[in-house]
Amino acid sequence: MLVKYIDQEVEVDIDPFDWDDFELKELVDNVAVGMFNDQLVEIDRDMYEFMNAPENNQEPWEMGDTHEYIQGGLTYDKEQSFKSFQKKIKEREENKK
């Protein structure tokens, strides 16, 4: 992400940008001004708002239908169609012998 250091008048592309180290001071026009690693910086306002929008910062159990079929932290095959697929493959292999 492109970060402009105000005091030094330097723009730096920081990837990945650590949002935990950014403290917002104010939103001005199309930039978000704040402190990043003890330096006053400007970043893109749209990116700041997107990354800090409540709908983008939900825990998995808060996201509703997206994570409806989770078991042990992984999604699972509710209809067990993968098991039937494996069974078909096994039958084909046995028939070829």
- In tens, the pLDDT along 54-77 reads 776 666 555 555 556 666 666 666
Strand order, beta sheet including 10-13: 10-13, 2-5, 39-44, 31-36, 22-28
65 and 25 within one domain = no
Question: How many domains does one find in the chain?
Answer: 2
pTM for the complete prediction?
0.50
Measured distance between the N- and C-terminal CA atoms of the chain, rounded to whole angstroms: 57
41 and 2 within one domain = yes
66 and 51 within one domain = no
97 and 75 within one domain = yes
Structural domain span for residue 14 = 1-57
pLDDT tens, position by position, 7-23: 777 888 887 888 888 88
Indicate the length of the chain as a whole number: 97
Residue 68: per-residue pLDDT: 60
83 and 37 within one domain = no
43 and 12 within one domain = yes
Does 33 score more than 60 pLDDT?
Answer: yes
Average pLDDT for the chain: 79
Residue 49: per-residue pLDDT: 85
